[in-house]
Structure 1
């Protein structure tokens, strides 16, 4: 499917927090967009932003998931790694089960080399210390050593999934920061990015005011005109 994420919108989303985006989505009635119980393998100090390319796992059945599957060139896990478009985020539905790994460092290194924007699972990664050292944003529930074949079967590429109790459709935009990850529906990503940028500017102003001793009453949220006047002056002075 076509991916609706412009370079301009991606750049905006690189500089806003998941918390701010969650508020912007809440204003639009979307309450359940932050992926639960999934966190960075290692903090990167910058956002992960990209359209979702999905992989769904189901419970493994022993007669279908033997070591012989490693020789199958059409295995869905490996095909997902090779098909995920550059700039996209591979998002895996592992049913919140980290008892066996969703992937390991070699496959994630392949995603990195192919130019993918990141990787997310609501299960676990093996070789997590190695993954954390890669120049590749990666998010999981916890480290997990057993191969996915012991408990999970990769069954579908790029269909709708649930990841950490959040619906993810192919082409939705994922934004991950050093705390968590949020899913933005593709059809509203531009307007949400614009609003989040504006919210971030005001939040930066508020942070400075609070550090200087200002009360939050009437300032955050802005319910007094004098604070909006101060904000306008601050913004002009800062060129923002």
Structure 2
């Protein structure tokens, strides 16, 4: 898709919950799309974010590689951040490690400066007060004081990763909101957007009926009569 198509698709997805997206993807046979452990961690994560995945990969710590000196290597977390385009969602595969922060406030500040839309990870951040002050939207499994090298070895960026038990490829689309983060495979984007927008509209109508006092049987899912009522409401 062109970036122009992206803008329209992402705008539409900003109005679609991750709950709706998981249901749509489930109907398409994709059951494993919700990133376990990645939950809203900063205040900025209270707003829904949509963007292309920029993947960052760690493996378990190995003492000869996971050293403070590694932070200055050409293949470092710092270098990864310099390659993140504005508007992307950084997806950090931190192996679900919860006792070492994969990175903290200074790196998040640089991401915010570069216009990165959000950070999503199955791991934890450190320096939470500082991270919060950067205004970056972060979905993670919490926080920890120790540095990344206490539990993780940085490997590379823009490779396929496993984050929270979900396969994420560079340029897949990530949608994150208060229910967590979901991946839409890049090839399914336009199809999913079309279904999702209609599904949100339909569920909005259902909610109106519930507020008006209607019982759920025959309404959700709708019988023929209620389907017809819904179609009339769109005219």
Question: 1:102 touches 1:121 (CA, 8 Å); kept in 2?
Answer: no
Distance 2:227 2:192 in 1: 22
Q: Which residue pairs with 2:234 in the alignment?
A: 235
1:7 is matched with: 7
- 2:48 aligns to what? 47
Task: Report what 2:68 is aligned to.
Answer: 67
Moved more, 134-143 or 2-11: 2-11
| Equivalent runs, 1:202-213 vs 2, <5 Å | 202-213=202-213
> Deviations 1:100-152 (Å, cap 9, x if unpaired)?
01111111111111111111111100022332344322111111111101221
1:83, CA displacement in angstroms?
0.5
User: Structure 2 length as normaliser, TM-score?
Assistant: 0.93
Distance in 2 between the 1:127 and 1:114 partners? 20
Equivalent residues, number: 233
Query: What are structure 2's unaligned runs of at least 5 residues?
Result: none
SS of the residue aligned with 1:167?
strand
Residue 140 of structure 2 corresponds to residue 152 of structure 1: no
- In the TM superposition, residue 48 of structure 1 has moved relative to its aligned partner by 1.1
Does the C-alpha gap of structure 1 residues 125 and 5 become closer, same or farther in structure 2, counting only changes over 3 Å? Answer: farther
Separation in 2 of the partners of 1:129 and 1:230? Answer: 51
Separation in 1, partners of 2:184, 2:61 = 30
Question: Residue 165 of structure 1 corresponds to which residue in structure 2?
Answer: 165
Quote the offset at 1:88 in angstroms.
0.8
Q: Following superposition, which runs of at least 4 residues in structure 1 exceed 4 angstroms of deviation? A: 2-5
**Judging changes above 3 Å, is the alpha-carbon distance between structure 1 residues 37 and 186 closer, same or farther for their aligned structure 2 residues?**
same
For normalisation by structure 1, the TM-score amounts to 0.91
- Contact kept? 2:37, 2:123, Cα under 8 Å: no
Alignment deviations for residues 201-240 of structure 1 (CA, whole Å, 9 cap, x no partner): 0101111111121111111112x2221232234334xxxx
- In 2, distance between residues paired with 1:205 and 1:129? 41
Q: 2:62 and 2:30 mapped to 1: Cα distance?
A: 36
3-state DSSP class of the match of 2:102? strand
CA distance 1:5–1:165, shift in 2 (3 Å): farther
Match of 1:225 in 2: 224
* Alignment CA distance shift 1:67-1:48 (3 Å): same
